[in-house]
Amino acid sequence: MKRFHVVALFLLVPTFFSAAISVSSMAQESSQPLKNQMLTISDAYIRTMPPGQTVTAAFLRVANTSDINCKILLATSELTNRIEFHEHVHSGGMMKMRQRKAVTIDAGQIVDFVPGALHLMVFNVKASLVEGDTAKFELQTDHCGNYSVELDIRSPLRPKMKDHH
């Protein structure tokens, strides 16, 4: 009887470990798509530039739909070699712009990158930005995944829509 238990255990152990490895692999595969859904990015656009300029700004809305804080560490694009997080702050009666190293989106919260506040400064733009086209950016986070974002290219001079009666 004892020999039977040892043989059965010997045969079952590799099956158990194999099943455990398979479950672990499946968990990693199924958690990967969920990880990329922690942040929802919308309303993304970049401004066109006047002729001869190589600096512009980009704006978007980032919603953290997870239960953990997410920090955006880096923004990149083929358009440029330098994108920084900037924010406008009031100091001594003056509006000043300052760089931020990263942007935290708290769990369940929304952060808006908008004109006159938090935004992406895009330096050394290599190509002309044509209104109506799109530009691709990549956002890298600490542990909430990386995101590819299509930004609409918009002119800051575009007339506002008026109500028609």
**Does 87 share its domain with 150?**
yes
**Does 68 share its domain with 27?**
no
Q: What are phi and psi of 135, to 5 degrees?
A: -130, 145
Rounded to whole angstroms, how far apart are CA atoms 28 and 19? 14
Amino acid present at 22: S
- Asked if 108 contacts 68 with a C-beta cutoff of 8 angstroms, the reply is no
Residue 1 lies in domain: 1-35
What's the pLDDT tens digit per position in 71-96? Answer: 999 999 999 999 999 999 888 888 88
What's the pLDDT tens digit per position in 120-147? Answer: 999 999 999 999 999 999 999 999 999 9
**Does 8 share its domain with 70?**
no
Number of structural domains (the chain) is 2
Question: pTM of the predicted model, to two decimals?
Answer: 0.73
Looking at the predicted structure, is the pLDDT value of residue 38 above 60? yes
Rounded to whole angstroms, how far apart are CA atoms 97 and 50? 21
Specify the CATH number for the domain of residue 99. 2.60.40.1890
Rounded to whole angstroms, how far apart are CA atoms 35 and 13? 32
